[in-house]
Chain A
């Protein structure tokens, strides 16, 4: 059973470009969480999704950030018009039920904005 798969592992974008981060949850998991980790800081909650639904996006910046988890395919975290401050590691976690305690984290996507 493969773990939570995130791709790409590393992503470099120029300021103003779009970044798309993908997360394929573990088999049988229908709940996905996105966290952001700035350098030398802990992880900060961004959004919690179930298939086709955003349940809690209280940690998402109001502009430029969006997330989806379609019926088929991976969850996508999309950042439009990236700025240097978006440089961070973005982690996805998935769980079989709606509890972060049972969630497994992926290896993360490290976004660098140049």
Chain B
């Protein structure tokens, strides 16, 4: 019940396309859902986060969609660029101030020029 399941494991998209990464969770106590971006050899960096009281959040080219009843959330990257090529992780915690996150398995995204 503590798991967050992420798919797909890898994704290849042409430049300008809209990659979509999906995550699902079981624990209804989860209340904070961030996405992290990780480049090779680097630590994860917070990209965007959402609370379940909204169904969508946009920051620049990145959008999170949230479906509370289905316990699913997804990341969309608009007008994707080769520089977006990285590994993306979804995560969840019981609240924004929690001390630990449960991470998904990660999606390795490649944007071809």
Q: Which residues of A contact B (CB under 8 A)?
A: 4, 31, 33, 35, 40-45, 48, 55-56, 58-59, 91, 93, 97-101, 104-108
Residues of A within 8 A of B34 (CB): 101
Q: Which residues of B contact A (CB under 8 A)?
A: 4, 6, 9, 32, 34, 41-46, 49, 89, 91, 93, 96-106
Contacting residue for B104 out of A4, A42, A97, A100, CB 8 A: A42
Q: Is the CB of B105 within 8 A of A41?
A: yes
Count contacts between A and B, CB distance < 8 Å.
66
Q: Is the CB of B49 within 8 A of A101?
A: yes
Bound CA–CA A98/B95 (angstroms): 12
Bound CA–CA A45/B94 (angstroms): 14
Bound CA–CA A106/B91 (angstroms): 18
With A106-B43, A107-B41 known to touch, is A48 a contact of B103 (CB < 8 Å)? no
